[in-house]
Amino acid sequence: MKPTVAPYPLARMRRARQSEAVRGLVRENSLGIEDLIWPVFVRDGVGVEEPVPSMPGVMRRSVDRVVEAAAEARDLGIPAICLFPYTDPSLKTEDCAEAWNPENLSNRATRAIKAEVPGIAVMTDVALDPYNINGHDGFVENGEIVNDRTVEALVKQTLSQAEAGADIIGPSDMMDGRIGAMRRALEAAGHEKVMILSYAAKYASAFYGPFRDAVGASGRLVGDKKTYQMDPANSDEALRLIERDLMEGADMVMVKPGMPYLDICRRVKDTFGVPTFAYQVSGEYAMIQAAAQNGWIDGEKAMLESLMAFKRAGCDGILTYFAPAVARRLRAG
C-alpha cells in the first residue's frame, strides 16, 4: 500500500528527527548483539596470536586462544563464533584428507570450545580450499573443479565437524547438490539437531582477498572460482539457488559478500521469509579499517552504519569481524 503523506506544512518530516528520543521512537530497524556471528581464524601452536596484516585488528589464534575468544564472545553476549582454519602447508594435498581428519584444527577448536564455553554456538566452514594444494573449494581434475566427487568429500567433512560438536554447518563451497547430501548424511548419523547455514548465494568476488591471506590460500589458488561461485551480474539466479538449498534442507541461508549485494539480501528475505544472513567479508572490513586508520572516516560510526545497512536490507544476522567491537559499543549504550 502506498503511504499517504499530507502536504507541507501539515506534514513536516523533520518533526520526527528533532531529538534522539523522538528518533528512537520512530526508528524502523535496530542492531543488536544477538545479530552477530564472529568469524575467527585458528592456527596451530600454543599461546599464539598472530596478526593478519591485510585485516587490521584480526588475529590467527591457536586453539587455546580461540577458546579465550569464545569466552570473550559469550561474555559480550555474542551468540555464535565461526571457525576458519589456517592449515599448515604440509597438510594441503590433492586428496584434501585433512578436511575430515578428526584431529584437524577446526575439529580440535570445536571440541575445546564446547568443553570450556558450552553456552556459545559453534559454526564451522565446509569447503576444501583450506586443505587443497590447488586452493580450490573442490577437487581439481584436468583443470576442472569437479562437482560430485567433491560433494562426497564435503559430506565426510560435514560428519567430522558434527561429531566434533559443531552446532551450525556452513557449506561455503557452492557445489551443486551438496545441501541435500549433507542433510541426508546428518540425519542418518543421528545429527538431526545440527543446523545448516548455507552459503547459498556466494559470488565470485574481488572482496575475498584478505580472507585468503588469513587462511593461507592466496598463493595456492590456481586460476579462479568463476565456474562455481556466482557471476556478480546475476540476481534472479540467487533466488533459484536459495530455493534449491531450502528444498534440500538448509535451515538458514546466506548472501556473500554483504554490502555490494544488499539488493540480493532484500530480494531473498522478501521472497522466502526465511532466516537470512550476510557475511561482511574481509575486503569490506579491511576497507573500513584502512580508511579509519588514515583518518578519512570515523571508523566506529562507519562500522555501525555498515551493519545497520544489513538489518535494513532484511538480514536476521551478520557474520562480521567487527563483532566484539560492535558488542562492546552496544553494551556501552
Tell me: the pLDDT tens digits for 42-57? Answer: 999 999 999 999 999 9
pLDDT for residue 28 is more than 80 = yes
31-332 topology per CATH: TIM Barrel (3.20.20)
| pLDDT of the residue at 60 | 96
| pLDDT of the residue at 93 | 94
Q: State pLDDT tens for residues 302-330.
A: 999 999 999 999 999 999 999 999 999 99
In which residue are the cell numbers 556478480 written? 232
pLDDT for residue 280 is more than 90 = yes
Catalytic residue among 114, 225, 256, 269: 256
pLDDT (average), residues 29-44: 97
Instruction: Return the percentage of the chain with pLDDT > 90, whole number.
Output: 93
pLDDT for residue 223 is more than 80 = yes
- Closest by CA to 322, choosing from 288, 295, 291, is 288
Cell triple for 160: 567430522
Mean pLDDT over all residues of the chain? 96
Cα 208 from Cα 261, distance rounded (Å): 14
Instruction: Return the percentage of the chain with pLDDT > 70, whole number.
Output: 98
Cα 326 from Cα 119, distance rounded (Å): 20
pTM for the model stands at: 0.95
Cell triple for 108: 580440535
Q: State pLDDT tens for residues 235-279.
A: 999 999 999 999 999 999 999 999 999 999 999 999 999 999 999
| pLDDT of the residue at 163 | 98
pLDDT for residue 136 is more than 90 = yes
Q: State pLDDT tens for residues 298-307.
A: 999 999 999 9
Catalytic residue among 202, 225, 269, 311: 202
pLDDT for residue 98 is more than 80 = yes
Q: Roughly how many angstroms between the first and final C-alpha of the chain, as a whole number? A: 35
Beta carbons of 231 and 285 less than 8 angstroms apart: no
| pLDDT of the residue at 218 | 63
Number of H helices, E strands in the chain: 11, 12
Cα 88 from Cα 47, distance rounded (Å): 17
Based on the residue annotation, tell me whether 225 is a catalytic residue of this protein: no
| pLDDT of the residue at 219 | 61
Beta carbons of 57 and 214 less than 8 angstroms apart: no
pLDDT for residue 100 is more than 70 = yes
- Closest by CA to 229, choosing from 196, 252, 195, 254, is 254
